[in-house]
Structure 1
């Protein structure tokens, strides 16, 4: 058995392993948006008679991301370089031999050599990762019945002239069916990036790059619907990403402005600096987005909603505009896990604890997968 980074010759066997281990049609397309993916993919290989017959029997992938850390001693925002772990798999006929544990150890050594501060992953089986140093953190999920909706449509105007629009671009020839908009002149990705960075500045929030917005985010949200809040002049002052599954509308992402005229979006830097603390959210944009989401839910037969957002005032405002008070409940999602790499254990423990405190952020899985 050999543990090493993947090579181009390993790709067919690697993809065959994932097809056996996961029911995830987006896994390979999302993986292929990472230009450095093979150098950050640790594989366990059973050698064959020739190099072309080597068989990948376990894998661990990781990708570097810049995340907001805990505030510094002076209260200023800080950042961490964090490795997101994904695509962890082992072949059924070799399970029970500790291959995933060994592959994780090899991946952590490479993260350390690459200067990673910590590592992040999302899983429904935390017991697999605890022996290797990852520990869970908690984020709130609020769910319940939707508020009654009148005759208003997604195009109906909110207060202060803000209008919510359901973006429905034509389908393209993408290998992955997508309803998420192709970025164009009428909806440049820079508008969403500007809102995102100004709105999200709390621990574990990702500082997305241009590559994320242009390649990864449209794929990750390929089954989602995008609602934008716009002023009469067409400027985007908020957005909401939702997914509809059966009778449930799931809120995946939110960002709104402050009610002030937006500044021109600067050219993206290779390593964006952390954003300042967000100003109070634009209530008109929140109300318009909530109304549009409820209308869309009714059209698709959804009667309930699930909101996974940080504990911030804007999230509370959206929840109040979406969910009926009766039957509403907040539960804990503990699928996220963190592990220190170069930073002290105490610092990462404090970061984990911050996710369940007031006015904190968290990481969306789509930012690292």
Structure 2
């Protein structure tokens, strides 16, 4: 068994990293989101033995909203993978330590995982957030499909008109919601690629949107936002969800999973759209203080487009 070197990623590691992620994750993790990060090699640490790359970790700088109205510099950790031949040797812990050492001026670190026991010894603690509502779904018999909603398939460059609405909807309202950089928006376009963007505009200005799709018969609402400064935000939400409902009814959707922050106005809209859906707590998030403790009291939410 050869010695393992932990080091910064190099350009020649890219194909090996793609192969590692395809083997280590279920479903396989495609490198598409990682590839749109122009600084990906600086943000990635690998482990290598005599046979090549056998481990990885990705540390992405993000700006996340906190409960005091401020914004934290956060070291967002993902793509933690160890090849089967290198497991059982504490390599994941070494990779975590290395990425934390490279976190720079980050206030705290964040990751999402289904195996929290791996990270507790590195100082991470679990938190929960009400991320989705899930359950049976049926189209309303009174809903009318609105003609004013524009539909478009999500791809690179498509989410640009949503930026102001997204920021206004999250500022001072949703803890953990990123202040999205250009890179964050591009990564969201990659993660949400192929889903349908439903966009409502007034005087050529976007006032609300939803991103949704049907997958294996399940209706998925990935993200939505409404400009809180419009005259009737509730009507905007209702119009967007009516458009989603029309497509889901045509597709025969009977079950749904709806990502929405637990804000009162959002809850009312989602409950009207899916009365039988039940709020689900997500407990996959973990935080570790770096320069200070995280300030994440309040209504927390993280959308599908923002995972890393």
Q: TM-score, normalised by structure 1?
A: 0.76
Aligned to 2:137: 146
Residue 171 of structure 1 corresponds to none
SS of 2:224's partner is strand
Q: Give 1:340's match in structure 2, choosing from 285, 289, 298.
A: 289
Task: Tell me the CA shift for residue 242 of structure 1.
Answer: 1.3
- Residues 55/144 of structure 1: CA separation in 2 closer, same or farther (3 Å cut): same
Shift of 1:122: 1.4
CA distance, structure 2, for counterparts of residue 65 and residue 153 of structure 1:
40
Partner residue of 2:212?
242
Q: Which residue of 2 aligns with 1:309?
A: 260
SS at match of 1:203: coil
Distance 1:30 1:338 in 2: 22
Aligned residue number for residue 151 of structure 2: 166
Q: Distance in 1 between matches of 2:277 and 2:32?
A: 37
Seen in structure 2, the aligned counterparts of structure 1 residues 259 and 103 have a Cα distance that, compared at 3 Å, is closer
Secondary structure of the structure 2 residue equivalent to 1:116: coil
Alignment partners' CA distance in 2, 1:196 and 1:130: 33
**Length-normalised TM-score, structure 2:** 0.90
Q: Where do 1:257-272 residues align within 5 Å?
A: 257-258=227-228, 260=230
Higher relative strand content = 2
Separation of aligned partners in 2, 1:134 and 1:25: 25
What residue is the counterpart of 2:183 in the other structure? 211
Q: Does the Cα contact within 8 Å between 1:149 and 1:295 map onto a contact in 2?
A: no
- Residue 126 of structure 1: aligned partner: 116
Which secondary structure does the structure 2 equivalent of 1:363 belong to?
A: coil
Shift of 1:128: 1.6
* Separation of aligned partners in 2, 1:32 and 1:4: 19
Once the two structures are TM-superposed, the CA of residue 291 in structure 1 deviates from its matched residue by 0.8
C-alpha distance in 2 between matches for 1:242 and 1:227: 8
RMSD: 2.2
Out of 82, 98, 109, the position equivalent to 2:101 is 109
Structure 1 residue 295 corresponds to structure 2 residue 246:
yes
In structure 1, runs of 5+ residues without a counterpart are 48-53, 72-76, 158-162, 168-178, 262-280
Aligned to 1:318: 269
- Number of aligned residues: 302
Q: Which residue of 1 aligns with 2:35?
A: 32
Per-residue CA distance 1:12-41 (angstroms, 9 max, x = gap): 322221221125566311101111111121
Of 291, 303, 308, the match for 1:364? 303
CA shift in 2, pair 1:14/1:126, >3 Å: same
SS of the counterpart of 1:129? helix
CA deviation vs aligned residue, 1:245-271 (integer Å, no higher than 9, x gap)? 22321221111113538xxxxxxxxxx
Partner of 1:83: 75
Structure 1 residue 62 corresponds to structure 2 residue 34: no
The answer to whether the 8 Å contact 1:69/1:78 transfers is yes
**Gap regions ≥5 residues in structure 2:** none
Decide whether aligned partners of structure 1 residues 243 and 139 sit closer, same or farther in structure 2, where only a CA change above 3 A counts.
farther
